[in-house]
Amino acid sequence: MDSPALENDKLFDLKLKANRARELVIESLLEAGSGHSAGSLGMADIFTAFYFHILRHDPKNPDWPDRDRLILSNGHICPLRYAMMAMSGYFPEDELKTLRKIGSRLQGHPHRITLPGLETTSGPLGEGLSQAIGIALAAKLDNKSYQTYVLTSDGEHQEGNTWEAVQFAGKIRLNNMTEVIDRNNIQIDGFTENIMPLEPLKEKYLSFGWEVFEANGNDIAAFVETIRKVRMVYDKPSCIIAHTIPGKGVTFMENDYNWHGKAPDKDEAEKALNEIRNFREKILSDRE
């Protein structure tokens, strides 16, 4: 099922929503005193495109059988997913202040049973693609039309079970599942290509029988257009290598792997929020 065309008014709204999501991420990480900043900020544009344009979902009916499934394999960027869910109406935005606190539904990694609207419990890297394959295969067996999307990190491609899943999806030509790889080039200890090189990543997926696209993951319009191209693939699984800037929107965090698993302190959060809010003013002024 194709996503509706992305008109200028809708793109403007999505840019504002991505900016708001980054603001909520910083506020919740500051409140928690821990968490993952870089990936959460870097994927804000893609999550916005999914929650507010691409996905068939209903926050008032999170278990709707025909909803599209969005699987988050790299669960450490859940501060962003929680922000998106709150903005969509799955729960009040005020609950974001409980991130990582004792008794909170918003755990440090998503817990499916605790929070309606989550498809899986994630945390151990490398498992999400296999889970998504199972969900997509179930859709075929049940003659369901929903699409399954799975978000993975580039770093978890250093996990062997990821490649077992890639091989299996290619073998069964799983054409109702799309993987989005956050290719931000960082992990907790440094840059991926220094720790365990992943390239040539595109060619590896091609060799397993996948269709592969590349996109600027921080350009909402470009990502939506890539999803449109994915919808035209009918005979194999699709992968989007989404090139993102870790820490996007906060210049002192951008492309710095030290922010992979670090939350801002009060002064850093204030500086980050000022920058994010100033960018919102730029979005508004560009619109005029």
Q: What is the pLDDT along the chain (288 residues), one digit of tens a residue?
A: 455 568 899 999 999 999 999 999 999 999 999 999 999 999 999 999 999 999 999 999 999 999 999 999 999 999 999 999 999 999 999 999 999 999 999 999 999 999 999 999 998 899 999 999 999 999 999 999 999 999 999 999 999 999 999 999 999 999 999 999 999 999 999 999 999 999 999 999 999 999 999 999 999 999 999 999 999 999 999 999 999 999 999 999 999 999 999 999 999 999 999 999 999 999 999 886
- Report which of 19, 181, 153, 177 is spatially closest to residue 75, judged by C-alpha positions: 153
- Tokens describing residue 203: 């060619």
pLDDT of residue 3: 56
Phi, psi of 9 (to 5 degrees): -65, -40
Q: Which CATH class is domain 8-287?
A: alpha beta
Phi, psi of 172 (to 5 degrees): -90, 5
Q: Indicate the residue type of 91.
A: F
Instruction: Indicate the SS3 state at residue 63.
Output: coil
Q: Where are the domains of the chain?
A: 8-287
pLDDT of residue 123: 80
pLDDT of residue 287: 83
pLDDT of residue 6: 81
pTM of the model: 0.97
- Report which of 238, 210, 234 is spatially closest to residue 226, judged by C-alpha positions: 238
